[in-house]
Every structure is written in structure tokens, then in C-alpha cells.
Amino acid sequence: MWGFVPSTNDDVADWQPRERTAWRLLDAVTSALAVTRADGTIVFASRGMLALLARPRERLVGQAFDSVLSEPSRAAYQAALSKAVEAARDLTFAVVLDDGSERTVDASLERVVADDGVLVAIRLREPFDRTIGQLASIVNAAEDAIFSIARGGAVRTWNDGAERMFGYTRDEIVGRSVSVLLPPDSRDFEEIAAKLRRGEIVSRYETVRRRKDGSLVDVSLTVGPLVAGDSAHGYAAIARDITQGKRMAAQLERAERVAALGRMATRLGHEINSPLGVILANVAYARELLSRITEASNVTELRELLEDTEAASTVIRQFMKEMSSLVASSADGEPDV
């Protein structure tokens, strides 16, 4: 693929299809890769290299590679090139960005023999410790509790979100068993541990955990293995506080129950009040008739029967009134959750 070296990344008119495809694949890589001639002139720069140096393509291709290095790094670069070896690794350069600022990067150089001479492939990358530091900052700024656990169950890392959620500081929790977060009656730990031993990821598992002060918090847990090589050497856990969500869900469920009760009360009221009105009307009419009767053996009994009927009707009406008041007060009040 090195048989033809373009003067710019976009100079593809005279390329053979195989060469054109190879260079375009290189251009698409996200890693910072540059190719220079033996004299240091840059003939190719990947998109990752352009992004790392914050330079447009036209200000990089065709320039000497050491032009993007600080003065001390130029000497280190030239020294690496002068060595009669095929590759030089574990180098550290300070590159100069387009705005004049500098950035420290790890670098490696590799010589490749092409048809028209020697080429040098240069790869740059962010220092490992800086990348880890950036990831740590991201994890630490997360609202969720994020922590890692050794295979034996000891807490290894603990972010700020975990401190806020559970109340333990890093110094208090790191090295202790994660079981301090379990409520006394918890039964899900073995279930989660069994899944992890099988290499499964526990995703959005809703459970309850205990804070330092003994109070309980509803959480959604996601736990997965931390893999190094072919084996897991621990587990990463993310816990999200879902207390507010569960409270809102309970309030919604309560509101739906109250609404259903209200609808039932309305139907009962309609079904009962209509015949109740008929009963009361009949009782009133019967009383009127009774007032016209002067002598009858069953007048007293009939009067008592009407009085009982009227009393029952009054009880039903009072029950419906109290039920309506209960529904109204339940709908207006704050549910107990």
C-alpha cells in the first residue's frame, strides 16, 4: 500500500483502486496517525491527527513534522529518527496546537520501506494517566452513585454521587464490604451475585439499600464485571435513586384509585337516589292517607312500618353523603406514601 505516496490526503486522481481504498481507510481512523517521508515532510494525516493537533489539513500536510513540536521535543524527535531501529516507542512530545498552546502526548515512530523510499508512521495519543484522569472526573461528576467492588466484595472506588446517596465518605467505605449497604432483611444479594458469577450484567434492578444513618433508599442497580484479559477482577456498579419516582408512581396509583372510587360513588348515588326518592315520596303519600283514616286495626302497624322505611331511607341518604365527602377529601389530601 506504500507504493504510492500522495502529496495531500485528497490527491487521489492517479491512485490505483487498491491504494485509494487503503489511504481512505487510514483517513477514516480516529487515532492520530501521520505519515512522513524520510526528511520529515508530512504526506498524510488522519482525521484523528487533525483533531488532536486542532489544525486544518492544509496547514499540516506538506509541512515538516517537527514544525508541530515544541523546541525541546524537536530534539527528541530527531534523536529518535537518527537511531538505526525500525521503531521507537514510549516517546513523549509536546505538540503545538493551532492556537499556539501546547499539549503533552505519547508518541511512537515506525519506519516502513516503500517502493519510492522510506516512510515514517507517527502515532500520537493522549497520555494514559490524563485519559484516566478525565474519565475519573466524568465519573466523579455523575449524579448517580458509581463504585467498583473487588471479587471478594470489598469496595474499591467510590464517587461523589455515592457519598451523597449513601452518606459514606471514600475513606469510610473503601476497603469495607459492600454488604454494609444491605438492609437487614435483604434477600437479593445472592441473586445478584449468582448472575455476576455467570458473567451476566444486572441491569436496572430495583431494590432497597441502606444509608450510613440507617435510613433506606430505593435504588435502581446496574452491575457488570470489570474485565481484564479473559477474566473479571471485580465489578462496576451504578445506583440511581428512584425514591422520588416511586413516590410519584404511588401518588398516581392513589389518585387513580380515588378517581375510580369517585366514579363508583357517582354510579351508586345515581342508582340509589332514584329509587330512594320514590320510597320517600311513597312514604309521604302514605302518611297523608293515614291522616284520613280514623278507625282501622292495622293503622298503628302501618304507621310503624312507614316510620321504619323512612328511617332506612334517611340512613342510606346519609351514607351516600358521607361517601361523597370521603371521596372529595381523599382527592384533595396528600396521600401517605
Rounded to whole angstroms, the Cα distance separating 204 from 87 reads 47
Q: What is the rounded radius of gyration, in angstroms, for the C-alpha atoms of the chain?
A: 40
Rounded to whole angstroms, the Cα distance separating 256 from 335 reads 12
Mean pLDDT computed over every residue of the chain: 78
| pLDDT higher than threshold 50 for residue 333 | yes
Rounded to whole angstroms, the Cα distance separating 94 from 107 reads 10
- pLDDT for 220 equals 93
CA angle 4, 8, 14 (to 5 degrees): 45
Pairing of strands 145-150, 117-125: unpaired
Tell me the average pLDDT across 132-144.
79
Task: Say what the pTM is.
Answer: 0.46
Neighbouring residues of 59: CB distance < 8 A, sequence distance ≥ 6: 98
DSSP for 126-194, please give it: --HHHHHHHHHHHHHH-SSEEEEEETTSBEEEE-HHHHHHH---HHHHTTSBGGGGS-TT---HHHHHH
**In the chain, where are the structural domains located?**
17-126, 131-241, 256-332
Confidence of residue 234 (pLDDT cuts 50, 70, 90): confident
Give me 174's grid cell: 473503601
Residue 218 burial by Cβ neighbours in a 10 Å radius (0-12, 13-18, 19+): middle
Give per-residue pLDDT as tens, 77-128: 988 888 756 778 778 899 988 888 888 888 889 988 877 678 899 999 887 6
- pLDDT for 218 equals 92
Same fold, 17-126 and 131-241: yes
User: What are the b/e assignments for 83-99, b being 16+ CB within 10 Å?
Assistant: eeeeebeebebbbbeee
C-alpha torsion 243→245→251→252, nearest 10: -160
Rounded to whole angstroms, the Cα distance separating 68 from 94 reads 9
Residue 137 burial by Cβ neighbours in a 10 Å radius (0-12, 13-18, 19+): exposed
Give me 85's grid cell: 531501529
- The CATH class of 131-241 is alpha beta
Rounded to whole angstroms, the Cα distance separating 197 from 202 reads 11
Give per-residue pLDDT as tens, 161-187: 999 999 999 999 998 999 999 998 888
- pLDDT for 87 equals 79
Rounded to whole angstroms, the Cα distance separating 262 from 235 reads 50
Number of neighbours of residue 231 by Cβ within 10 angstroms: 10
How is domain 17-126 classified at the architecture level of CATH?
A: 2-Layer Sandwich (3.30)
